[in-house]
Amino acid sequence: MNQIHDPQSFQYDMRRMAGARAPRDAAVNFRGLSKTYKMDRVDVPALKGVSGSIAKAETTFITGPSGSGKSTLLNLIGLLDRPTDGVLEILGEDVTQLTDRQAADFRAQHIGFVFQSFNLIPVLSVRENVEFPLLNRKMSGAARKAKALDYLEAVGLSDYVDRRPGEISGGQRQRVAIARALVSEPTLLIADEPTANLDTRTSREIVALMDRIKAELNTSVVICTHDTDLITAGSAIINIIDGQTAKEH
Write out the residues near ligand ADP by the rule CB under 6 A: 37, 39, 44, 46, 64, 66-72
Question: Considering CB distances under 5 to 8 angstroms, the limit depending on partner class, which of ligand ADP, Mg ion, none binds residue 46?
Answer: ligand ADP
Q: Are 80 and 108 in contact (CB under 8 A)?
A: no
What residues have CB less than 8 Å from 41, skipping those under 6 apart?
none
CB of 244 to Mg ion, least distance (A): 16
Q: Does 72 bind Mg ion (CB under 5 A)?
A: no
Q: Does 195 bind Mg ion (CB under 5 A)?
A: no
Calculate the CA 245 to chain-centre distance.
Answer: 18
Q: Does 8 bind Mg ion (CB under 5 A)?
A: no
Cβ proximity to ligand ADP, 76 vs 157, nearer residue: 76
Cβ proximity to ligand ADP, 53 vs 239, nearer residue: 239
CB of 163 to Mg ion, least distance (A): 29
Q: Which of 230, 246, 228, 227 is nearest to 238 (CA)?
A: 246
**From the CB of residue 163, how many other CB atoms can be counted at a distance below 10 Å?**
15
Among 53, 60, 71, 235, binds Mg ion (CB under 5 A): 71
DSSP H helical segments within the chain, as ranges? Answer: 7-17, 70-77, 100-110, 126-131, 141-154, 170-182, 200-217
CB of 4 to ligand ADP, least distance (A): 28
Phi, psi of 142 (to 5 degrees): -65, -40
Which residues contribute to the site for Mg ion (CB under 5 A)? 70-71
